[in-house]
Structure 1
Amino acid sequence: MTRRHLSGWRRRGSGETAVYTARCSEHESELLRSIVSSMCELLTERADSAPPDDLATLTGIRSGHSSTPTDATLGRLLPDFHRPDQDDQLGCDTVNGDLNGALRSLNEPLIIDDKLAAAHCLLDTVPIGGGEITLTAAQADQWLTAINDVRLSLGAMLGISEDTPDELDPDHPYAAHLHVYRWLTEQQWLLVEELMG
Structure 2
Amino acid sequence: MAGLFERTPDGSAAIALEEVEAAILRSLEVQMLELIGPGPAGAPGAETDPLAALFTEGPTEAPADPALARLFPNAYGEPGTAADPGTKAAAGEFRRYTEPDLRHRKREDALLVIRSLDTLGGDGGVLRPGPEECPRWLGALNDLRLTLGVRLEVTEEDEQGLYDLPDSDERKPLVMAYLWLGAMQESLLEAMTG
TM-score of the alignment, normalized to the shorter chain, above 0.5: yes
**Contact map agreement 2:43 2:56 (CA 8 A) in 1:** no
Select 2:60's aligned residue among 66, 80, 85.
Answer: 66
Q: Which has the larger radius of gyration?
A: 1
TM-score (norm: length of structure 1): 0.81
Trace 1:1-197 onto structure 2 (pairs within 5 A).
4-6=1-3, 8-13=5-10, 18-45=11-38, 47-49=39-41, 61-84=55-78, 95-126=86-117, 127-129=120-122, 130-164=124-158, 165-167=161-163, 168-197=165-194
Distance 1:58 1:24 in 2: 39
Tell me the amino acid that sits aligned with residue 134 of structure 1: R
Distance 1:98 1:153 in 2: 26
1:54-85 deviation digits (Å, cap 9, x = unpaired):
xxx99951111111111011111111111246
- Deviation at residue 125 of structure 1 after TM alignment: 1.2
Report how many aligned residue pairs link the two structures: 180
RMSD over aligned Cα atoms: 2.6
Q: Which has the higher relative contact order, 1 or 2, with Cα contacts under 8 A spaced 6 or more apart?
A: 2
Instruction: Find the counterpart in structure 1 of residue 47 from structure 2.
Output: none
Distance 1:195 1:58 in 2: 35
Distance 1:112 1:132 in 2: 29
**Contact map agreement 1:77 1:153 (CA 8 A) in 2:** yes
- Deviation at residue 98 of structure 1 after TM alignment: 2.2
Is the alpha carbon distance of 1:80 and 1:22 closer, same or farther for their aligned partners in structure 2, counting shifts above 3 Å? same
Tell me the amino acid that sits aligned with residue 162 of structure 2: D
Q: Which runs of 5 or more structure 2 residues have no equivalent in the other structure?
A: 45-50
Distance 1:12 1:59 in 2: 39
Is the alpha carbon distance of 1:119 and 1:60 closer, same or farther for their aligned partners in structure 2, counting shifts above 3 Å? closer
Distance 1:78 1:62 in 2: 17
Q: Secondary structure at the match of 2:132?
A: helix
